[in-house]
Amino acid sequence: MVEFQDLHRLPTFEDLSRKELEAVAPLCEKRRIAKGVTLFQEDRQATRLYVLDAGRIVILMNGAHGQRAMVYTVQPGESFSWSALVPPRRYTASALAIESSDVYEIDGRKLSRLFKREPALGYKIMCRVSQLVSKRLRHTRLQLLNIHDWQTAEQAQAV
């Protein structure tokens, strides 16, 4: 069983009260994931929110021609698979353990039901999830800038 103290040290939950942490803790399981294990696959039903405690997880996406591209490396303390909290609850990418990893696994539907009973708690956690989505979007934009030969603003004005 996961104790509320375990969750408090994770960025996703660090600003929650003891009472709120005690409400979330029973929904969590800590799991050891072996190197090479896929936690979830793109386009499948999203059922779990994960928080990486230790190890390395990469987020992969399928390309148009069947290739898989690494789009993000999850850092310890970060949440991933936020799709389990947002309709239509489909994973938008896959997650692969590239080394043995420890994760907290949270049932997305149970967590969503808790949010309905405790809206202030849901708001706090969804604010953290929004920060995560924003960070990933920024990371993706930077990757696109590195892939494409973009004009600078000065070059565009000179044309």
- pLDDT interval class at 1 (50, 70, 90): confident
In this structure, is residue 156 part of a structural domain?
A: no
Tell whether 141 is covered by a domain.
Answer: yes
pTM of the shown model: 0.84
What is the reported pLDDT for 145?
73
Q: How confident is the model at residue 40 (pLDDT cuts 50, 70, 90)?
A: very high
Q: Is position 97 within any domain? A: yes
**Domains in the chain: how many in total?**
1
**Residue found by looking up tokens 């509320």 in the block:** 4
Q: Tell me whether residue 94 is in a domain.
A: yes
pLDDT score at 101: 98
Position 154 in a domain: no
Domain region containing 117: 4-147
Domain harbouring 133, CATH code: 2.60.120.10
